[in-house]
């Protein structure tokens, strides 16, 4: 019905002209004292012809409208699929759309090439920077001292940022080297925990680790990144107390929990902690916070089919939950 009224409105000028012509036609014939019957007969024939032409024009316009609606709903639209141009306006619009379509295709190709070159550069940079990082770690491990331990902790943070950059680049690319296999969750988590052992000791935080005793279908490298980032945040925002790692027991789902007794998250910030660049009130606690770590965690979790949620109370710590149930995993 809406299309019908739009059709009438778009042809209101033509309709007014036709009605005006019919009125003039009727008035002139009546001035010559012609019999009423032939005048009405001629008028009815004219109206019938106008209605037939209008119905034909409406059907043609409606089919064209359906084609355009279908093209709008398609993932990709090319100028080749447009309805056949008949009028001069249609041909002009078709020409304009073709030019714009070709320009868009050209821009997409340039953008894809630029993104590919950027991804290749940063991937190469990450792999190259890891060489001096490894060398520095070996040098620091050659002698045990307080300063070397502190430098090792800072070096590990650098390595985390490097891994974060690589993950961010790979998430933006078409290929993310995702390999889904069954893994022991204990093995994955313990490797991540061991990486942060010196930070636990340095901040005098205790680790409450309960055996997870479960297998998960996932990509080990990407899941390790998520767990590492959550552990890093837990340590960063906890000055005293502990960090706990356990499976949620009051459910039949495989939900891994990473909890801390840190500063917690303000209720106003909680719905937005996974947004890109959002730091909230905790950003004032850590002035160097970028707000990108949890965003990458959420993107990675979505890619793995993992549901990542959090709950927290200011001053009482936070709990991040990873739903690793295999039914969530996306097989692509």
Instruction: Summarize pLDDT for 299-322 with one digit per residue, the tens.
Output: 999 988 899 999 998 888 999 999
Region of poorest pLDDT, from 36-40, 187-191, 281-285, 318-322:
281-285
Q: What is the DSSP letter of 83?
A: P
pLDDT in the model for residue 211: 92
pLDDT at res. 257: 95
Residue 277 region by backbone torsions, left for phi larger than 0, else alpha for psi between -120 and 50, else beta: left
Q: Give the mean pLDDT of 187-212.
A: 90
pLDDT given at position 245: 95
- The mean-pLDDT minimum among 70-79, 98-107, 218-227 falls in 70-79
- Start-to-end CA span in the chain (Å): 42
Write down the H helix ranges in 240-292: 282-285
Find which of 4-13, 118-127, 184-193 is predicted with most confidence, using mean pLDDT. Answer: 184-193
**324 has a pLDDT exceeding 80:** yes
CA-CA-CA-CA torsion sign (188, 269, 234, 213): negative
- 53-92 in b/e form (b: 16+ CB < 10 A) is ebeeeeeeeeeeeeeeeeeeeeeebebeebeeeeeeeeee
Q: Per-residue pLDDT averaged across 272-290, rounded?
A: 70
Average pLDDT over residues 75-97: 66
CA atoms within 13 A on the CB side of 125: 14
Evaluate if residue 161 carries a pLDDT over 90: no
Dist. CA 207–CA 210, nearest whole Å: 10
The residues near 52 (Cβ < 8 Å, ≥ 6 apart) are none
**In whole angstroms, what is the distance from residue 100 CA to residue 111 CA?**
16
Kindly provide the residue ranges of all beta strands, DSSP E only, lying in the chain, ordered along the sequence.
181-184, 206-209, 215-218, 242-247, 255-260, 307-313, 317-323
Rounded CA gap, 63 and 202, in Å? 72
pLDDT value for 332: 44
Output the CA torsion sign for 161, 166, 171, 172.
positive
4-22 pLDDT per residue, tens: 777 777 778 887 887 887 7
- Residue 15's CB is within 10 A of a number of other CB atoms, namely 13
Bigger pLDDT: 240 vs 278: 240
């Amino acid at each position: 019905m809406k299309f019908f009224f739009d059709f009438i409105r778009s042809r209101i000028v033509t309709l007014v002209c036709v009605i005006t012509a019919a009125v003039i036609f009727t008035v002139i014939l009546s001035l010559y004292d012609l019999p009423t019957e032939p005048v009405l007969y001629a008028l009815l024939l004219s109206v019938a012809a106008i209605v037939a032409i209008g119905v034909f024009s409406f059907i043609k316009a409606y089919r064209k409208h359906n084609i355009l609606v279908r093209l709008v709903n398609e993932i990709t639209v090319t100028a080749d699929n447009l309805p056949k141009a008949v009028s001069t306006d249609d041909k002009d619009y078709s020409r304009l759309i073709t030019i714009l379509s070709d320009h868009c295709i050209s821009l997409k190709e340039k953008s894809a090439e630029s993104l590919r070159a950027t991804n290749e550069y940063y991937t190469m940079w990450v792999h190259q920077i890891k060489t001096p990082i490894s060398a520095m770690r070996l040098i620091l491990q050659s002698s045990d001292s307080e300063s070397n331990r502190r430098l090792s902790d800072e070096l590990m943070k650098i390595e985390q940022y490097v891994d974060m950059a690589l993950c961010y680049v790979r998430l933006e690319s078409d290929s993310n080297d995702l390999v889904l296999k069954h893994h022991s969750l204990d093995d994955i988590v313990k490797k991540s925990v061991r990486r942060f052992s010196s930070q636990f000791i340095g901040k005098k935080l205790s680790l409450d680790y309960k055996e997870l005793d479960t297998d998960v279908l996932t990509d080990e490298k990407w899941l390790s990144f998520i767990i590492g980032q959550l552990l890093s945040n837990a340590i960063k925002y906890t000055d005293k107390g502990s960090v706990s790692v356990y499976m949620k027991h009051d459910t039949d789902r495989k939900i891994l929990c990473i909890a801390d007794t840190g500063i917690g998250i303000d209720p106003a910030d909680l719905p937005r902690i996974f947004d890109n660049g959002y730091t909230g009130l905790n950003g004032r606690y850590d002035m160097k916070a970028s707000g990108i770590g949890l965003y990458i965690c959420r993107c990675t979790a979505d890619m793995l089919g993992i549901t990542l949620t959090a709950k927290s109370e200011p001053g009482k710590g936070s709990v991040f939950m990873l739903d690793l149930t295999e039914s969530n995993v996306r097989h692509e």
